[in-house]
Structure 1
């Protein structure tokens, strides 16, 4: 009889407020998406813009970012930023490193993000993703997000299908 692996107790989720956190987010996205999907540096540049905008203009009462750690090493991240629409926030740049997948980190990060959104008074959270990101989509669906539209686009060196998802809080 095979015994299931016990849940890891060394996983923590903390604010992305330590030196190196923001740079790690950009680097990890660039490396992981290149290795997994062959995406070019246009994607890393997009993530760098998202991170730079957050760092320059963050409103701590309405925006936050988190880092997940497993065994004391960075293993994932997610950002929540204000949208241009009133009472709407955007979930951005969710990532779990390949070595840390299957540990529930993505779900924990999204849960943290949504709890913050509720405390901040948002009524809706939106996100944009691509259909090839199957595991992330499963997390979004489990959290209650619904697909609102999708359309093909050419980005990051590939033909992709972009998707917009919405969660009413």
Structure 2
């Protein structure tokens, strides 16, 4: 460590690390990272969520509330049940949809959970400060060159952070990398926020038809996105 008179104010001194000091600091930092990595490797995967929550609680207790952390991840145990429960509760509260909708979500989730090809089908969870607040799925459609976006959801507490756009973009990027030619989806006209996200991502409305579903008169809509740069183009 060296001390030098400040170049602008002689009343102060600058304390600088020597080359040896920087090397020692880098070595300590490396050892610290290795120690933390070793500790985390011993934690069972199904306990990582609890660990994050516990660390967040400790951080808040010591330093006060911090800006919530937002991240995207794959599925973990319990997520499929959460997707069904939150779709059922949220759509009932916001649109008055009945149990038919929750049953539909349960069938979609059940089929995905019973067997899917990870190279061609995937699901994601958006987290806010360690809590799940959003979901989306990319599954194979009837045509082998077409994927389908399903079960987009963002909790009210997380809206305004563009998580819906992030979820859709993640699904689009995966479908393109998986080699699909088209990505399609079906939604209803009352879901105006979701439709704006789809339009922003480049989806085009290709058909719509009135129907009565989930206890409400609705207009179902089919949307399609041509995946440029796919393996088929």
Bin the TM-score by the shorter chain. Answer: over 0.9
**Which structure shows the bigger proportion of residues in strand conformation?**
1
Quick one: distance in 2 between partners of 1:28 and 1:52? 15
Structure 1: gaps of 5 or more residues: 1-7
Deviation at 1:42, TM superposition (A): 0.3
Deviation at 1:9, TM superposition (A): 6.2
Name 2:190's counterpart in structure 1. 132
1:57-116: CA deviation from partner (whole Å, max 9, x where unpaired): 210110000000011111000000000112100000100011111111000000110111
Q: CA separation of 1:98/1:9 partners in 2, compared to 1, >3 Å: closer, same or farther?
A: closer
Are 1:141 and 2:199 matched, yes or no? Answer: yes
Alpha-carbon RMSD across the aligned residues, in angstroms, is 0.9
Are 1:20 and 2:92 matched, yes or no? Answer: no
Name 2:110's counterpart in structure 1. 52
- The one of the two structures with greater contact order (alpha-carbon pairs below 8 A, sep at least 6) is 1
Q: Secondary structure at the match of 1:85?
A: coil
Quick one: distance in 2 between partners of 1:9 and 1:113? 23
1:22-57: CA deviation from partner (whole Å, max 9, x where unpaired): 000000000000010000010000000000001112
Q: Secondary structure at the match of 2:81?
A: helix
Give the TM-score, by structure 2 length. 0.68
Quick one: distance in 1 between partners of 2:213 and 2:172? 28
Quick one: distance in 1 between partners of 2:81 and 2:135? 12
Larger radius of gyration: 2
Give the TM-score, by structure 1 length. 0.93
**Which structure shows the bigger proportion of residues in helix conformation?**
2
Are 1:11 and 2:70 matched, yes or no? Answer: yes
Deviation at 1:19, TM superposition (A): 1.2
1:5-154 equivalent positions in 2, closer than 5 A? 10-16=69-75, 18-154=76-212
Number of positions where the alignment pairs a residue of Structure 1 with one of Structure 2: 161
